[in-house]
Amino acid sequence: MRVAVVSDLHLAAEASVCRGGRSERALLQWLDLLAERHDHVVLLGDIWETLAPQRLGDQRAELERAALRWPGVRARLNDPAFVYLHGNHDLVAAELWGAPGEWRVEADGLRLWFTHGHQFDPFSSSAHSERAFWAVGWLMRAGLRRLVEQLDGVDQVLGGAHRVQARCQVQRRAVAAARAASVDLIVTGHTHLGGVYDHGDVRYLNSGTGAGGRRSCLSIDTATRRWFWIDGQAQRLPMVRPVLQLR
């Protein structure tokens, strides 16, 4: 089974708070290319940005407005080639559209667990996170996107995410949960820190982010036991030389 994984596009109704780019046509071209080359494309949460509405707590209306602005992406959610799982920024999709929070599947003798990963981040599950992300939305409306990028780094620190494998608390929690669930691969997004990491009996994969115009994704082939993280730029269609490969 071949699976592509994309997460953290943060598509919003307003251009000022949208991090996934401006061209739906280019985004759909990329997603459709991945669908052509894989059996499934997993949209692994935070595809939509609903935690930065103009009015605090207005996530339902924000999701509906975002879907109207990105109708092609919304249509892909009904395509059987695409598997959509919600994250914390589009949690309301569970209520409105019945989006699940995880997908567990076994293929070619491998047990895989796909989930956005916010449940392993103590900050994202705190009572303060919703107000914090709402405030970030207003910073972006004020044109302070650069400041927001710096705050993303603070968010990672608070949540325990780190590029160094040994220091990444989110990764360690995810791997512990995978061992308890007896799965071989756990695949998350959320931290925006993509890569493939070996923990002995468990492999941890992170799809990175489509925010900021990036086109990062994972490509997983269970039959050949090959999995890549591809750190693609917005102007290039990924499926190029892998950044990291483990067998």
Residue 156's pLDDT is what?
74
pLDDT tens for each residue of 125-170: 666 788 888 888 888 888 887 777 776 766 676 678 888 888 899 9
What is the residue range of 182's domain?
Answer: 2-246
Q: Is 215 helix (H, G, I), strand (E, B) or coil?
A: strand
Residue 230, beta-bridge partner list: 217
CA distances from 36 to 39, 156, 161 (A): 8, 33, 33
Distance, CA of 169 to chain centre: 18
Decide which of 222 and 157 is more confident.
Answer: 222
pLDDT interval class at 101 (50, 70, 90)? very high
164: how many CB neighbours lie within 10 A of its CB? 8
97: how many CB neighbours lie within 10 A of its CB? 15
Alpha helices in 190-232, H assignment, sequence order:
none
Domain CATH for 35: 3.60.21.10
pTM as predicted: 0.90
For the record, the structure tokens of 227 come out as 């999995």
Structural domains of the chain, count? 1
